[in-house]
Structures are given as structure tokens and as C-alpha cells.
A = this chain, B = another copy of it.
Amino acid sequence: MSPSRATLIEVATLAETSKSSVSRFFGTERNKLSPALCERIERAAHTLGYRPNLMARGLKGGGSRLLGMLVADIRNPFSVALVHGVEQAARAQGYSLIVCNTDNDPALEQTQLATLAAYQVEGLVINASGQPEAPLQTLMHSGVPLVLLDREVNQLKADVIGLDNAQAIDMALDHLALQGYRSVLYVSESPTQASTRQARLIRFKQQARPRGLTRRTLLLDSLELEAVMPTLKAFAQSAGPTAVLCGNGNVTLALARGFQRLGLAMGQVGLMGIDELDWCALIAPGITTLAQPTDAIGAAAVTCLLNQLKGTTPATVIHRHAPRLLARGSTQRSPTLSSFTPEQANNP
């Protein structure tokens, strides 16, 4: 009834050879086989529809060819872009990716980590939501290669790959200053858990004044409109040409809502965000953003992982990637009167 999957041995029998040879054929030693045998095996495998059982392979030293990835929030488009980059790079190297979402829940994160480990992944890409220092320490100690993506974990001495946050903040401030804004409000979600948020916030505090900008910050536990409005309202009425800088995509969304609710004209009050989103070019007059090179970051993570696996360090992996500035109308103080089009908005 159910002709459950063919096995190595069945192929061997049909090809009139031994399991060793068939194993070699599907492994890395195909060149050690005579052309004749190769062809017999090929044919047998094909008629039986044979596919190696990766579980069995993973069991015996051959390696599971599996990479694990932990994502803090799979519904965040930025995270998804990272997943996409990592998956693509992994596939290119012959690895599969098992993705676990933690929904920003540190407890769930621990569970998922255990699960990933249980599947004998050969390497782990971690976009942490909490600070799972202990379990990761254990994992590293037991020889599992490990790369942190976007966010660091406290004391953990591991490779971290992500945006060059300092450069990003600098670029943002330079752009805002150049556009004539004199006072900047930096809005971020609570930076206690995520290293990236801290790094950006600190850099902002250091670098605003040297550029002649008055600075102010707003740290949010919730992105509800109610949490945003009072500060935004007060800030919009304060002195000097003012601009708001958003620490990530979610914040940009929240503030775009805030602007709309207050009837603020983007540009007149500047609005700029880190992370590029589908709709940023769409909302008139277009929201200026710093786009992260997510595919490159994902690929770098995989490269880094495989380097660790091989023990070699052939190509240097770039840990801090530069963002790309997409300048649009939301940081232009006096809008050109020509009608706005997405095309114009997409070009810096």
C-alpha cells in the first residue's frame, strides 16, 4: 500500500553492489567509483526513487546539513528579510534552514533553542529576543558554531553580524542637519533587552550636539498611539526646524500614525526611519529611510558560520554593514511643488 521510502540497501541490492558503494555515490567520494558502477547505481536509485534519509545521516557523523535560525519576531518585515537572506545563502552552500520564531518571548526562546539543539543542527544563527546567555554558552562549549544576528548577547563572546549602528546614526544626523533641521527627537522601543537599540541610542546622544543639533529622546514600552502623542505634540511645537528619527521600522509605523493623527505635514516636521518598508515610498511625500542590506547580512552570517565549521577563516566576514540612505520628501522642509511620484521618491 504505502511503498515507504527506498533505502540504501535496496538500491545496493538492485544495483548488485554493496551499501558502501552506494553511500559513496551519494556522499563526497563519488570520484572513487568506476564509471560503470556509478551508472548502475544511478539507474537503480532512479527507478526506486531513492533519497538519502538525512536523519540517519545526521546520526552517524556525516553531519545533518541543517542550520538553525532563531528569529525574535517573524512578523517584522526586517526579520523576514534576514531570514530570506540567511536561507538563500544556506541553500547555496547545500544546507537547509530550520527557522524558529520566538515572538519576542525570552521563555519561548529557551525552548526553541533546546529544540534546535535537539535536531543536531550544525550551526546556529541567533537573532536574540532576550539574553539567553547560559544556554548559548553551553551550546558553544559543546562545539556548535554560532553567530549572533543584529543583536548581541551580554557576555557572550561570539561573532555578531548586523548593521553598523554608529554609521547609521551618523548618516541620519548628517542628512537631517544638511536638510536644515536643528532639533531632533529620537524615538526607540525600550532598549533594555536589545543591544542594537542601545547602540543606536548612545550614538545618537553622543553625535547630535557635535552637529549643532538639539536632541531629545523618547523611549517607548508600547507603540500604542497614546504613548506617542503627548511627546510628539509637544516636540512638534518646540523651537527650531524639528525632525523625528525612528529607531526601527515599527517605530516608523507608529510615528507615521502619530503624524497623521496630529495632521503634521511630513517634511515641515521631518520624519526619518531606520529600516526600509514597502510603504515608505508610498505615503506622500515619501518617508526617508536608511535601508539595511539584509541579504548581505544574512549571507555574511552563513559565511561566518561555515568558516567556523571548517575551522578555516578564508574570507574575512564583514560584521558591520553600512546602510543605504533613501532620501524622500519627509525630510525636505519646503516641498518642491511638482507633484510627488514614487519614482522620484525612490532616488536619493
Contacts and interface: CB of A to CB of B under 8 A. Distances in A.
Contacts of A101: 83-84, 87
Nearest to A66: B119
A260 interface: yes
Interface in A1-33: 2-5
A256 interface: yes
Contacts of A342: 225, 257, 260-261
Given A84-B75, A101-B87, A340-B260, A3 B282 contact: no
A118 interface: yes
Contacts of A52: 118
Contact of A257 (B4, B114, B282): B282
A141 interface: yes
Interface string A76-95: 01001101100100000000
Contacts of A5: 117, 142
Interface residues on A, range: 35 or more
A83 B83 CA distance: 13
A302 interface: no
Interface in A161-204: none
A51 B139 CA distance: 12
Contacts of A143: 2, 4
A278 B260 CA distance: 15
A224 to B, nearest CB: 11
A115 interface: yes
A142 B2 contact: yes
A101 B56 CA distance: 24
23 contacts: A2-B142, A3-B141, A4-B143, A49-B138, A51-B114, A51-B117, A51-B118, A53-B118, A53-B120, A55-B58, A59-B59, A74-B83, A75-B80, A96-B115, A96-B119, A97-B98, A97-B99, A225-B343, A257-B282, A257-B342, A260-B282, A261-B341, A279-B283
Q: Which 5 A-B pairs have the closest CB atoms?
A: A279-B279, A2-B143, A55-B58, A54-B118, A98-B98
Given A53-B59, A56-B59, A66-B119, 12 more contacts: A3-B141, A3-B142, A51-B118, A55-B59, A74-B83, A87-B100, A97-B98, A260-B340, A260-B342, A261-B341, A279-B279, A279-B282
